[in-house]
Chains A and B, each alone.
Chain A
Amino acid sequence: MTIESGHSETVADRATVSAPPGELRARGLPLVWTLGAAGFVVGALLVGLAVGPTPISAWAIARDAASHVFGFRSPLSSLDSGIVWQIRAPRVVLGGLVGMMLAVAGASYQGTFRNPLADPYLLGVSEGAGTGATIVIAFFPHAAGSELLPLAAFLGGLVGVGAAYLLGSSVARAGGTGALILAGVTVAAFMTAIQTFLQQRQSQTLQQVYAWILGGLSGATWHGIVLALPWIAVSTAILLAHRRVLDVLSVGDEEAGALGLNVARARGLIVVAATVGTSAAVAVSGLIGFVGIIVPHTIRLLVSSSYRAIVPLSLLVGAGFLILTDVIARTVLSPAEVPIGVVTAFLGAPFFAVVLRRSRWVGL
């Protein structure tokens, strides 16, 4: 005979008279925020196309775009049309792609490493790409304007993270993500040493390397976009598909494993996708900091802690954010340009400080 407390009887009663079971839903992707973020991207695109030394109205641009589809007469002169589609559009599109990639990669890194400070450069993409770029600028100065530079930066980023990952996962059994981050720091230090040594030996390259490291979208061409697009598109799609897996990883490696997730494989896939995409973005735009940190955290603070919301919204907000910061970078001191990394941090840091102060930081 068992003695049952009053509480257990109420539970048993409830089980027998329970209503037909409902369903439990995750918040997922809130519609209002999604529409807002999509509107932000469209607005940023129009501003990016319309603003510049030659003012062209967004309405005229929209009618010009429609005229190409429906065949009526465009309101734009061929000169204005060229400015919009051959000069501004590549820059806007590239800004959108790079911004979305950095924000999505940052969100994924924060999720898979359960570390709020993780950004896409955590495991040595930036140092690897910088070393690749420096080698080209120092030893093949005539090729620095060609596709060799982005290719070397792309491969350098992959080599950096690949070395960190091999080193980290060989000791990760006991150390988990900590070992991986430490391996990233180790590889990054080594790469920085090579980079600094080369720059110091060939000091005439300093200016060019520095300009590349500061990053920017001024070299954007449709051709460059075609080179980077496949990598960025595939990486982003893979990371988007992992948004629920990132939520599972948020309970830690051991519990995620107890829930049936192959943690090492999932983390490997996420890191590879984020690294390949980030390397492609860095190859065509240099090192643009801070986007990968503030965009995901702003969404985390304002909308949801679930990666089902963070990843897709980071994609949209990251794209719009970088397009707008690039507009500022190329207009405030026109015809000179402010490095875009300066603008992302100069505007992004105070904005994020306000968000951080006004919201409740509860951790990852």
Chain B
Amino acid sequence: MTALEARGVEVALGGHRAVAGVDLTVARGEWVCLIGPNGAGKTTLLRALAGLVPADGTVQLSGRGHSRRRRRELARAIALVPQLPETPPGLTVAEYVLLGRTPHIGYLGGESRADRVAAAAAIDRLDLRAFAQRPLYSLSGGERQRVVLARALAQAAPVLLLDEPTSALDLGRQQEALELLDDLRRSDGLTVVSAMHDLTLAGQYADRLVLLDRGRIAIEGTPGEVLTEATIARVYGADVRVLHDDGRVSVLPIRGIRC
């Protein structure tokens, strides 16, 4: 079953083609990771998939095109967690997570009982019940990351887009966040598309990697197919060793092996 299908997506930002013709099909329940050097178009592609930036080409969710959906309907189908989410410091965790229910609430309406229950379930899934009445400014970076994820879960969209979900976290919190995402994806049948810089983490969690280079897909496939020393040297201009351990791939930067 296809969850998300993009055909010939192009996005021009200020005359520069940030995304230059991308075809991408994501199956339901799949975790696809967008990788690529800075400026390869990962963030812009995610925004185009979420319908937040005018794009040429077509994006379909469960067989229906973006252009035929209204903003609210789209937000019920696809949730986006940006790289640096705005977390209004004075709002409480509860208030912030309830904002995730916006696409399910009429324009000037208030939350129904169903909305409050869904938000409570999201907060419980991320083990944040004890934080519910705390203001956002009092949380650590890792806690805040979980709160943002809880808001995205409360949105109850079957497709979750994440831009650098671990960039603000330490090593332990990175693994914790990704494990959590993997659990949620399996238990709730979510489809995940994430942009990530850390190639090792990307390779260990994603089903499939899509390597972007200057707005185009350079190569896509399983982590073992995409993460090779030759490909990384060519696209990133980086010197790395690729280690294979029990079917998992790790990418290790090495100083000066090409010199």
Contacts and interface: CB of A to CB of B under 8 A. Distances in A.
Interface of A: 2, 4-5, 7-8, 11-12, 14-15, 18, 21-27, 241-242, 244-245, 247-248, 250-252, 254-262, 266, 300, 304-306, 362-364
B98 interface: yes
A248 B102 contact: yes
A242 B106 CA distance: 11
Contacts of B87: 251
B187 A254 contact: no
Nearest to A9: B183
Contacts of A304: 90
Name A's interface SS: loop
B233 interface: no
A11 B99 contact: no
Given A11-B180, A304-B90, A247 B100 contact: no
Given A2-B182, A254-B82, 16 more contacts: A7-B180, A22-B117, A23-B113, A23-B116, A23-B119, A24-B120, A26-B92, A244-B108, A247-B91, A252-B86, A255-B85, A257-B52, A258-B80, A260-B74, A362-B90, A363-B137
Nearest to B186: A2
Given A23-B117, A26-B98, A242-B108, A251 B88 contact: yes
A304 B75 CA distance: 28
17 contacts: A2-B182, A7-B179, A8-B179, A21-B117, A23-B119, A24-B120, A244-B109, A248-B99, A254-B82, A255-B80, A257-B52, A258-B79, A258-B82, A259-B75, A260-B74, A305-B91, A362-B89
A25 B123 CA distance: 12
Contacts of A241: 108
A14 B95 contact: no
A174 to B, nearest CB: 8
A245 B72 CA distance: 13
B198 interface: no
A14 B237 CA distance: 45
B176 to A, nearest CB: 6
B99 A247 contact: yes
Interface stretch (B20-28, B124-132, B211-219, B224-232): B124-132
Contacts of A244: 105, 108-110
A347 B72 CA distance: 46
Contacts, number: 134
A3 to B, nearest CB: 9
A305 B89 contact: yes
B90 A24 contact: no
Contact of A24 (B75, B97, B187): B97
B94 interface: yes
Nearest to B78: A258
B85 to A, nearest CB: 7
Contacts of A306: 90-92, 95
Nearest to B107: A245
B67 interface: no
A18 B124 contact: yes
Choose among A241, A255, A256 the residue with the greatest number of B CB atoms under 10 Å from its CB: A255
A141 to B, nearest CB: 46
A219 B82 CA distance: 53
B95 A247 contact: yes
Contacts of B180: 7-8, 11
Contact of A21 (B91, B110, B120): B120
Given A12-B183, A23-B120, A258 B52 contact: yes
Nearest to B204: A3
A251 B99 contact: yes
Interface in B56-95: 71-76, 79-80, 82, 85-92, 94-95
A8 B183 contact: yes
